Structure 1
Amino acid sequence: MLPPLKPIRSETDYQAALASLGAFFDRNPDAAPQAEADYFEVLAALVESYEEAHYPVAPPTPIEAIKFRMEQMGLEVKDMDGIIGKPNRVYEVLNGTRPLSLAMIRRLHEKLGISADTLIQVV
């Protein structure tokens, strides 16, 4: 029998919820009865809400976002020609010695799908 769901109001509640979720996922969640799967789906939403309020994640800097997307796509500095510019320009941007221009931001957004909001933020 599953305990009743309740709001996560403290770190103790949060840790208990994480332990319950961990135990659920250690078993085969796909084989769980629908009522149990529903219970843990709601519990996961409660955990997510608590984490958003108590452990907010700052958005990446523009440079972090570019490096991450390059890594995801398997791109190298030479592949950024036509998006940021020649290799020396790319290195300047990635090292933070040259700011992104509006044209670079547009191309990074269009060609790599990086959010324009991320690229234009003040660091």
Structure 2
Amino acid sequence: MDIHSITTPEDHSRALAEIERLWGAAPGTDEGDRLDLLATLVEHYEQHAFPLGDTDPVETIRIHMDMTGRTQSDLAALFGSASRASEVLNRRRALTMEMAYRLNSEWGIPAETLIRPYELEARKRSA
């Protein structure tokens, strides 16, 4: 794959596939440099094509999952629990710093979009 500007959804998909292939390449190697450059181009494209604006952390996660084809099962694997992923997506559990860190470091979601305050669903109490 030749490296060039990412301007279309097709370019974006190809770049993501190449990033996945290169994932884990050592920094300073040709493949590591290629990975770094592609990640920068993808980040630039996504910031302009999919602006997050004032979305709260849960909306941000959902948008990112839709954009990257990830599922709730992928989120469960990242968080270590299916119930934890479900609770976060349904606003019954707040993101922890560790969850935000993993979303940032492993999925590339900008940390500043994950640390915004947001409302949780009120829990129903039995009377």
TM-score by length of 1: 0.50
* Aligned partner letter, 1:95: N
2:90 to 87, 95, 118: 95
Higher helix share: 1
Q: CA RMSD in A?
A: 1.6
May I ask how many residue pairs the two structures share in their alignment?
Answer: 67
Q: Which residue in the other structure is 2:68 paired with?
A: 73
* Aligned partner letter, 1:110: S
Asked if the contact 1:109/1:116 (under 8 Å) is kept, the reply is yes
Identity across matched positions, percent: 34
Q: Runs of 4 or more off by more than 6 Å in structure 1?
A: none
Asked if the contact 1:78/1:86 (under 8 Å) is kept, the reply is no
Higher relative contact order (CA 8 A, sep 6+): 1
Q: Which residue in the other structure is 2:124 paired with?
A: none
State the structure with more CA Rg.
1
Deviation at 1:84, TM superposition (A): 2.2
Question: Which runs of 5 or more residues in structure 1 are unaligned?
Answer: 1-56
Deviation at 1:58, TM superposition (A): 4.5
Q: Which residue in the other structure is 2:125 paired with?
A: none
